[in-house]
Amino acid sequence: MTARLIDGRAAAAALRVEVAARVAAAGFAPGLAVVLVGEDAASKVYVRTKDRAAREAGIETRTIRLPVETGQTELLEAIRNLNDDPTIDGILVQLPLPRGTDAPAVIEAIDPAKDVDGFHPMNVGRLAEGRPNLVPCTPLGVMKLLRAAGVTTAGARAVVLGRSAIVGRPLASMLLAADATVTIAHSHTRDLPAECRRADILIAAVGKPEMVKADWICPGSAVIDVGINRMQDGRLTGDVAFAACKAVAGAITPVPGGVGPMTVACLLENTLTAAFRRRVA
């Protein structure tokens, strides 16, 4: 058996076309502000990608670049200014922040109605409560990929490997809302491979290259690989041993070309959602 490939690039391209069409029909250009502190190379690449995607969708984007030595007070003031700016519908603070910065305080300073990353405690709480407002982009992208691949979540046993506040925990809430039976597995889970083998849907989000092996996979299951790891030889690989696992799974995402493109596309959708709620409500 060879798994069906879940094409994140194609799904993301379709979503970006949809967002662009809705922006064109809206009669206004949503505004997205990205705050980048420091010179982290990967963060700079991600910000350029987001800027380009937003412009192509008709979203006005502004990048606030601050030096690495920016203090907490100055950073919070920059966020308050964006909260008060009526032309800005979405605010994203690029993570990770420099060492010494109180990241939770920075996230909590963002207006929840403009929190297009979905990380503000108010948005996290609403998601956990089953009344989502703005939700994290990567978990949202995973759910969209499952739907695009025709994967049934209702009644399915879903295992989320990883318990981060950015992916694992919000994704568990979204799967639960989609009527899956959800287990969050992590480094202290007993017999982790056996737990994963129980899954009809397995989502790997641990940040460890090729941790999930073929004998961890239930035959015919859907495998979503959220991880992206750069190896010493320059290759990008996920948390799943793709070549071996695709011979067991029923459907699987590649790395790159799986979840990553959907994260950016969902950021655009979140920005448009925030804009309509602020301007049209």
**Which sequence positions are flagged as catalytic?**
50, 94, 117
SS (H, E, C) 97-130: CCCCCCHHHHHHHCCHHHECCCCCHHHHHHHHHC
Q: Is 48 helix (H, G, I), strand (E, B) or coil?
A: helix
Q: Which of 144, 100, 139 is nearest to 119 (CA)?
A: 139
Q: Virtual CA dihedral for 38, 40, 42, 45, nearest 10 degrees?
A: 40
**In angstroms, rounded to a whole number, what is the distance separating the alpha carbons of residues 96 and 207?**
15
**In angstroms, rounded to a whole number, what is the distance separating the alpha carbons of residues 133 and 122?**
9
Tally of CB atoms within 10 A around 130? 10
Sign of CA pseudo-dihedral 237, 202, 269, 88: negative
267, 59 contact by CB (below 8 A): no
Number of H helices, E strands in the chain: 10, 11
SS (H, E, C) 147-195: HHCCCCCCCCEEEEECCCCCCHHHHHHHHHHCCCEEEEECCCCCCHHHH
* 107's tokens: 């996230």
